[in-house]
Amino acid sequence: MRILLLGYGKMGKTIERIAIERGHSIAGKIDVQNRHEMDALAAADVDVAIEFSAPEAAYDNITYCLKRGWPIVSGTTGWLEHRSEIENLCMQQQGAFFYASNYSIGVNLFFRLNRQLARLMKGQAYRTSMTEIHHIHKLDAPSGTAITLAEGIAAENSSQKGWKLAPEEEDGFVQIEAKRLGEVPGTHIVRYESEVDTIEITHTAHTRAGFALGAVISAEWLPGKTGVFGMDDLLEDLD
Ligand SMILES: NC(=O)C1=CN([C@@H]2O[C@H](COP(=O)(O)OP(=O)(O)OC[C@H]3O[C@@H](n4cnc5c(N)ncnc54)[C@H](O)[C@@H]3O)[C@@H](O)[C@H]2O)C=CC1
Ligand SMILES: O=C(O)C1=N[C@H](C(=O)O)C[C@H](O)C1
């Protein structure tokens, strides 16, 4: 496949390496300074776009691809207040849009574990909180992954209404502490605390390769489909 990379930073470069290892070619590497190069590409030059850019750039990038008729896989976090607009545009254009706050297969198994644990903890007298740890360059907080984890807990337990970013705290909301340390690729801890004990589950990414591989597999899966998709759709197909 010919893959257009939108955002050529840490993730764009890791995705490029893995895509080439899997036999794909790169149709273009677009970043802030060469966005005009996208206009020179013919629709048929691109089989799929993979977008890992910045919170303020994702909406325009995804919109551009949908209007060009290019299936698009996006992993950028921190822009989801515009998600329903993008989903509507995708339907209008009869396009293909794939989004995940985290493309790592391990994290997606962790999402399932998180929901199972939330079911078990329903009705128990524990305080629920989370810590996410990322590198100091990260622009958004809390992480998209932490938000997905909090949404998973709320979906399983109606006494949890959402999340608050620490130091804000409110009963019925999962408090998320966001730490920024060195070059940490991404660590997420979900915690239940009572007077007598603590239960924690942790996912630790050792490198970005897991995120990048998941994004490339999603890009291999998406072309030829119409609609809005996520990791559950992909994993169901792979199961
Ligand atoms: N869903 C997932 O599995 C993962 C998501 N991410 C998210 O992906 C995004 C990118 O992460 P990194 O690559 O680590 O960041 P990065 O800062 O290393 O790279 C982002 C690149 O996008 C470029 N960019 C900014 N505005 C742009 C625009 N308008 N058009 C094209 N390029 C533009 C920047 O110049 C930069 O080179 C972040 O939002 C991060 O949270 C990161 C890792 C995994
Ligand atoms: O910015 C990052 O690096 C990461 N961002 C994603 C998020 O916000 O959840 C995924 C991963 O944790 C790395």
Would you say 135 is a known binding-site residue? yes
Number of the ligand 1 atom closest to the C-alpha atom of 75: 1
Q: Alpha-carbon distance 189 to 149, whole Å?
A: 10
**Mean model confidence pLDDT for the chain:** 97
> What pLDDT shows up at residue 58?
98
Q: Is 215 in the same domain as 186? A: no
> What does the pLDDT look like over 220-232, one tens digit per residue?
999 999 999 999 9
| Distance of CA 6 from the midpoint of ligand 1 (Å) | 9
> For the segment 42-62, what is each residue's pLDDT rounded down to a tens digit?
999 999 999 999 999 999 999
- 6 and 70 in a single domain? The answer is yes
123 and 197 assigned to the same domain: yes
Q: How wide is the angle at C-alpha 145 spanned by C-alphas 25 and 55, nearest 5°?
A: 65
Residues 186 and 121 in one domain: yes
Percent pLDDT > 70 in the chain is 100
List the domain range (segments joined by +) for residue 141: 105-204
Strands (E), the chain: 2-6, 25-30, 48-51, 72-74, 96-99, 127-134, 162-165, 173-180, 187-193, 198-204, 227-229
Listed in sequence order, the residues at least 6 apart from 188 whose beta carbon sits closer than 8 Å to its beta carbon are 107, 110, 130, 131, 132, 143, 145, 146, 149, 202, 203
pLDDT tens digits for range 114-172: 999 999 999 999 999 999 999 999 999 999 999 999 999 999 999 999 999 999 999 99
pLDDT average, residue stretch 18-25? 98
Bridge partners of 90, per DSSP, are: none
DSSP letter for 80, please. G
ipTM of model over 0.95: yes
Expressed in angstroms and rounded, the spacing between residue 144 Cα and the centre of ligand 2 is 6
Whether 98 is in the pocket of ligand 1, judged by its Cβ within 6 Å, is: no
Q: What is the SS3 assignment for 103-137? A: CCHHHHHHHHHHHHHHHHHCCCCCEEEEEEEECCC
Question: Which pLDDT score, from 0 to 100, does residue 9 have?
Answer: 98
Per-residue pLDDT, 239: 72
pLDDT of residue 131: 98
| 11 and 87 together in one domain | yes
Q: What are the structure tokens assigned to 188, written together?
A: 């997420």
**Nearest residue (CA) to ligand 1, atom 8:** 76
Query: In angstroms, rounded to a whole number, what is the distance separating the alpha carbons of residues 59 and 43?
Result: 20
Half-sphere exposure of 9 (CA within 13 A, CB side): 11
Q: Model confidence over 75-106: pLDDT tens digits?
A: 999 999 999 999 999 999 999 999 999 999 99
In this prediction, residues 214-223 reach a mean pLDDT of 98
The answer to whether residues 45 and 92 belong to one domain is yes
Same domain, 89 and 12: yes
Any idea what the CATH number is for the domain that residue 83 is in? 3.40.50.720
CA pseudo-torsion sign 106, 206, 100, 230: negative
Find the catalytic residue in 24, 134, 188, 203: 134
Q: How many domains does the chain have?
A: 2
82 catalytic? Reply is no
Residues 123, 50 share a domain: no
If asked whether residues 21 and 137 sit together in one domain, one would say no
In one letter, which amino acid is 183? E
CA 4 centroid distance within chain: 18
Q: What's the CA gap between 62 and 78, in Å, rounded?
A: 14
Q: Distance (Å, rounded) from C-alpha 83 to C-alpha 193?
A: 33
**Helices 209-221, 10-21: inter-axial angle, 10-degree rounding:** 60
Q: Are residues 37 and 68 in the same domain?
A: yes
Strand, coil or helix: what is 72? strand
Q: 17 a known binding residue?
A: no
Q: Are residues 229 and 156 in the same domain?
A: no
134: annotated active-site residue:
yes
62/91 same-domain check: yes
Position 238 scores a pLDDT of 83
Q: What is the CATH number of the domain that holds 125?
A: 3.30.360.10
Q: How far from the centroid of its chain's Cα atoms is residue 172's Cα?
A: 25
Residue type present at position 173: F
